[in-house]
């Protein structure tokens, strides 16, 4: 008897509908501040992939392959706002520091695979997490990552399950070119302040400070060191 594996689906059985719906409901909530994510959800350009555990490499190959497909699709049609989100079934009890550590372990693993395959880094951004122009790169497309989890201190980041949302950096550059970025950013900041009672102190524009400091959602101090190292860097 032969065993046929479907590598486009999680190998560990998951309640995929529950995981996907949990993020859709979070984004669709009236007080959720990110209007870009709301637009992607409304237009059907928020792709959600269920996965097993944020603290396991079990789904990393599948997630990386999906990221490459997402990057290629964008290269063929670089229009509109879109996001690729991975919702992990567990664990649900991570502290902010533990979530941050697990998040960077997954991002490092995905980047290692991208380098091993031989994909060059997107040359429009830096691979140095200390550089103000840093972004991650998969399939030669730069990405900004938003981490969310049940114990996040910021309400907008407080999802039922650990979640990593990959946003294409180029779509923000297109918004800037169309003079739409600042207006959208101001709306998000105002909505986030209304929800949380304060503006997220970690937010900064690309080029003003490394975006790596924003990924986990935890407020980090000036001495914080990003654990990420691009495998393609000398």
**How confident is the model over 58-109, as pLDDT tens digits?**
999 999 999 999 988 888 887 778 899 999 999 999 999 999 999 999 999 9
Helix axis angle for 169-177 and 181-196, nearest 10°, is 120
127, part of any domain: yes
Whether 1 is in a domain gets the answer no
SS3 73: helix
Whether 29 is covered by a domain: the verdict is yes
pLDDT score, position 205: 61
Task: Indicate the DSSP class of residue 135.
Answer: -
Cα distances (angstroms) measured from residue 39 to each of 46, 131, 135, 214 = 9, 30, 23, 22
Q: Which of 8, 134, 126, 139 is nearest to 73 (CA)?
A: 139
- Check residue 182 and give its pLDDT: 83
- Number of separate domains in the chain: 1
Provide long-range contacts, Cβ within 8 A and 24+ apart, for 55-60: 55/91, 55/94, 55/102, 55/105, 57/106, 57/109, 58/11, 58/12, 59/10, 59/11, 59/86, 60/106, 60/109, 60/110, 60/113
Residue 126's φ and ψ, nearest 5 degrees, are -100, 145
pLDDT of residue 176: 82
Residue 26 lies in a domain: yes
pTM summary value:
0.91
**Domain-located, residue 6:** no
Q: What range defines the domain where residue 51 resides? A: 16-214
Minimum mean pLDDT range among 36-40, 175-179, 188-192: 175-179
Q: Is residue 150 part of a domain?
A: yes
């Amino acid at each position: 008897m032969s065993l046929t594996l479907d590598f486009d689906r999680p190998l560990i059985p998951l309640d995929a509908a529950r995981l996907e719906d949990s993020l859709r409901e979070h984004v669709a909530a009236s007080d959720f501040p990110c209007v870009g994510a709301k637009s992607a959800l409304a237009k059907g350009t928020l792709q959600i992939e269920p996965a097993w555990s944020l603290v396991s490499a079990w789904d990393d190959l599948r997630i990386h392959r999906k990221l490459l497909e997402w990057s290629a699709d964008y290269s063929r049609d670089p229009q509109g706002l879109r996001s690729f989100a991975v919702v992990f079934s567990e664990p649900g009890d991570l502290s902010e520091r533990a979530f941050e550590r697990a998040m960077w372990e997954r991002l490092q693993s995905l980047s290692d695979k991208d380098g091993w395959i031989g994909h060059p880094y997107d040359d429009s951004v830096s691979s140095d997490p200390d550089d103000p122009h840093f972004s991650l790169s998969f399939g030669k497309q730069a990405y900004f990552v938003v981490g969310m989890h049940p114990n996040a201190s910021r309400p907008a980041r407080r999802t039922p399950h650990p979640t990593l949302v990959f946003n294409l950096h180029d779509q923000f550059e297109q918004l800037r070119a169309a003079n739409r970025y600042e207006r959208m950013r101001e709306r998000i900041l105002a909505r986030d302040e209304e929800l949380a009672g304060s503006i997220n102190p970690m937010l900064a524009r690309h080029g003003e400070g490394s975006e790596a400091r924003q990924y986990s959602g935890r407020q980090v101090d000036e001495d914080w060191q990003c654990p990420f190292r691009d495998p393609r860097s000398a």
